[in-house]
């Protein structure tokens, strides 16, 4: 029977060249985050549907790959709805599993707990170019740290990692959910319409300030309020991060708790003073971040030269309490792993230390002790740190060597049955 050669719809095979880059990037990430005291953890790919559907996942909850019950539990005849057939599914992010993990193991973990998670997630999204239904997420989270030290460490760790991967000239954009709300309150928008206002504000990058005005007007908001609102964003243009923040805080006056401004200012100045990569931290009052679970700081990696966001995160102080019944401060940062890989592939990134490869090609008739001697030599070179491929010589040796050159082999060692030939 001929079998199906393609991967299932929307998922992909990873070939050696990309895999080599992925392994390298994973190594740099684990090493760098390790230096910041983050420890790796893992959770299963499968989670109970009760947890996955807990409303923390937003739109992603519609994209779950559900796993069928098995054996006696699966009764097709009496099944009336989907939930009679399934009670678990593939995770769509690493945040819900992290919070479950923390609830389950809190007593075995240090406080604060600094977690690194790298793992696949699955979403039944409409397949499109460069977006797959299985993809890797790379999250760091600090649980149990209420102060802005969490934000500072998350941003430094992430930017140091990006720097080690060769990225420069990027931005970390930062904002605060409470500033977002204060700006909306100051402009007189009714509280129940905040979410709708933020969805419009989030489009600033694409449609500009006039587009935002148009959309808000279309939604029927008061013109004076819209003017007041948009003047805030005009006011920060061409201001540095701290000056922009100060301008917003002064304008908002009593609408904004001074502590919020002070803490955000401290994050910006501390990161600026201690950063070890070439990037800029920018206060961006138009930054929204979609997930409803954020409660405080929010931030995003912006790489305009590569068309937008390469990751982000923020503070979510209320989510752990939903699992444990006890509020625990939490803050996380996620690198857009697949995006980073795509950019590095496009830019032709060269992995360091890839120049130690040698191929031994052995003619078919070489056997016995002679073969052993060749292999012994390869073993010696390997022990000394070389990468040694040992292979039989193909009939078409020229093509074989071309293939090996394409894989980065430059040195060749050829062994014949009769060396005089």
For a copy of itself, the binding residues in 69-128 under the rule CB under 8 A are 70, 74, 76, 79-82, 85-86, 88, 90, 100-101, 103-105, 108-112, 114, 120, 122, 124
* Residue appearing with tokens 């992925």: 22
Task: CB nearer to a copy of itself: give 137 or 286.
Answer: 137
Within residues 305-344, the interface with a copy of itself by CB under 8 A covers 322-323, 325
Contact 269, 123 (CB under 8 A): no
For the chain, what's the residue count?
421
Near a copy of itself by CB under 8 A: residue from 270, 286, 295, 297: 270
Near a copy of itself by CB under 8 A: residue from 45, 185, 342, 351: 45
Residues in contact with a copy of itself, counted by CB under 8 A, come to a total of 112
309: which strand partners? 302
Task: CB nearer to a copy of itself: give 153 or 176.
Answer: 153
Contact 94, 5 (CB under 8 A): no
Task: CB nearer to a copy of itself: give 1 or 420.
Answer: 1
- Write the binding mask 278 to 307 for a copy of itself: x where contact by CB under 8 A, - elsewhere: ------------------------------
Q: Which has the closest alpha carbon to 141: 121, 161, 160, 118?
A: 118
Task: CB nearer to a copy of itself: give 42 or 217.
Answer: 42
Question: From CA 157, how far away is CA 29, in angstroms rounded?
Answer: 9
Asked if 134 interacts with a copy of itself (CB under 8 A), we say: yes
> What is the nearest approach in angstroms of a copy of itself to the Cβ of residue 28?
12
Task: CB nearer to a copy of itself: give 40 or 243.
Answer: 40
Asked if 413 interacts with a copy of itself (CB under 8 A), we say: no
Task: CB nearer to a copy of itself: give 37 or 304.
Answer: 37
* Residue appearing with tokens 């790919």: 45
Within residues 12-41, the interface with a copy of itself by CB under 8 A covers 12-16, 19-20, 22-23, 27, 30, 34-37, 39-41
The three-state secondary structure class of 22 is helix
Contact 38, 117 (CB under 8 A): no
Concatenate the DSSP letters of all residues of 72-138 into one string. GG--TTT--SGGGTEEEEE-S-SHHHHHHHHHHHGGGS-SSEEEEEEEEEE--PPPBTTB-SEEEEE
Question: From CA 390, how far away is CA 406, in angstroms rounded?
Answer: 16
Near a copy of itself by CB under 8 A: residue from 364, 397, 410, 417: 364
Near a copy of itself by CB under 8 A: residue from 171, 196, 309, 400: 400
Question: From CA 222, how far away is CA 243, in angstroms rounded?
Answer: 29
Question: From CA 329, how far away is CA 175, in angstroms rounded?
Answer: 18
> What is the nearest approach in angstroms of a copy of itself to the Cβ of residue 308?
26
- Write the binding mask 373 to 392 for a copy of itself: x where contact by CB under 8 A, - elsewhere: --xx-xx--xx-xxxxxxxx
In 256-411, which ranges are continuous DSSP H helix? 258-274, 319-324, 337-346, 368-383, 397-406
Asked if 417 interacts with a copy of itself (CB under 8 A), we say: no
Concatenate the DSSP letters of all residues of 44-62 into one string. -SEEEHHHHTSSSSGGGGG
| Residue 350 DSSP symbol | P
414: which strand partners? 361
Within residues 205-224, the interface with a copy of itself by CB under 8 A covers none
Token pair listed for 405: 């050159």
* Residue appearing with tokens 């010696």: 380
Near a copy of itself by CB under 8 A: residue from 2, 206, 238, 258: 2
Task: CB nearer to a copy of itself: give 97 or 244.
Answer: 97
Contact 421, 367 (CB under 8 A): no
Asked if 345 interacts with a copy of itself (CB under 8 A), we say: no
Task: CB nearer to a copy of itself: give 222 or 272.
Answer: 272
* Residue appearing with tokens 């100060």: 246
Strands 134-143 vs 387-392: parallel, antiparallel or unpaired: unpaired
> What is the nearest approach in angstroms of a copy of itself to the Cβ of residue 10?
9
Within residues 144-203, the interface with a copy of itself by CB under 8 A covers 145, 147, 149, 152-153, 156, 160
Asked if 1 interacts with a copy of itself (CB under 8 A), we say: yes
> What is the nearest approach in angstroms of a copy of itself to the Cβ of residue 39?
4
Question: From CA 218, how far away is CA 226, in angstroms rounded?
Answer: 11
């Amino acid at each position: 029977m001929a079998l199906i050669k393609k991967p299932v719809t929307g998922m992909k095979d990873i070939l050696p060249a990309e895999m080599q880059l992925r392994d390298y990037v994973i190594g740099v990430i684990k090493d760098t985050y390790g230096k910041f005291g983050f420890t790796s953890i893992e959770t299963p790919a499968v989670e109970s549907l009760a947890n996955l559907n807990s409303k923390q996942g937003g739109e992603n909850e519609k994209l779950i790959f559900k796993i069928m019950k098995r054996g006696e539990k699966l009764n097709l005849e009496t099944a009336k709805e989907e939930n009679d057939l399934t009670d678990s599914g593939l995770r769509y992010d690493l945040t819900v599993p992290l919070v479950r993990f923390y609830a389950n193991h809190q007593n075995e973990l240090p406080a604060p707990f600094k977690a690194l998670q790298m793992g696949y997630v699955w979403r039944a999204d409409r397949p499109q170019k460069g977006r797959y239904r299985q993809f890797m997420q790379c999250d760091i989270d600090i649980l149990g740290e209420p102060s802005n030290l969490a934000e500072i460490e998350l941003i430094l760790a992430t930017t140091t990692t990006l720097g080690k991967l060769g990225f420069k000239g990027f931005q970390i954009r930062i904002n605060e959910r409470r500033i977002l709300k204060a700006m909306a309150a100051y402009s007189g928008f009714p509280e129940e319409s905040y979410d709708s206002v933020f969805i419009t504000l989030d489009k600033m990058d694409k449609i500009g300030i006039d587009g935002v005005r148009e959309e808000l007007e279309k939604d029927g908001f008061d013109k004076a309020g819209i003017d007041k609102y948009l003047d805030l964003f005009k006011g920060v243009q061409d201001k540095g991060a701290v000056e922009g923040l100060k301008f917003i805080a002064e304008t908002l006056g009593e609408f904004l708790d001074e502590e919020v401004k002070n803490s955000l200012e401290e994050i910006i100045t501390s990161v600026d003073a201690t950063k070890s990569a070439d990037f800029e931290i920018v206060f961006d009052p138009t930054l929204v971040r979609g997930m409803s679970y954020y409660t405080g700081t929010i931030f995003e990696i912006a790489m305009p030269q590569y068309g937008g966001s390469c990751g982000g995160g923020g503070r979510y102080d209320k989510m752990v309490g939903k699992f444990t019944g006890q509020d625990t401060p939490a803050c996380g940062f996620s690198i857009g792993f697949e995006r980073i890989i795509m950019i590095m592939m496009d830019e032709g990134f060269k992995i360091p230390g890839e120049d130690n490869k040698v191929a031994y090609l052995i003619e078919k008739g070489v056997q016995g002790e002679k073969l052993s001697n060749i292999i012994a030599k390869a073993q010696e070179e390997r022990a000394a740190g070389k990468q040694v491929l040992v292979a039989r010589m193909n009939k078409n040796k020229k093509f074989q060597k071309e293939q090996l050159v394409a894989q980065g082999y430059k040195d060749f060692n050829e062994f014949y049955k009769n060396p005089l030939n």
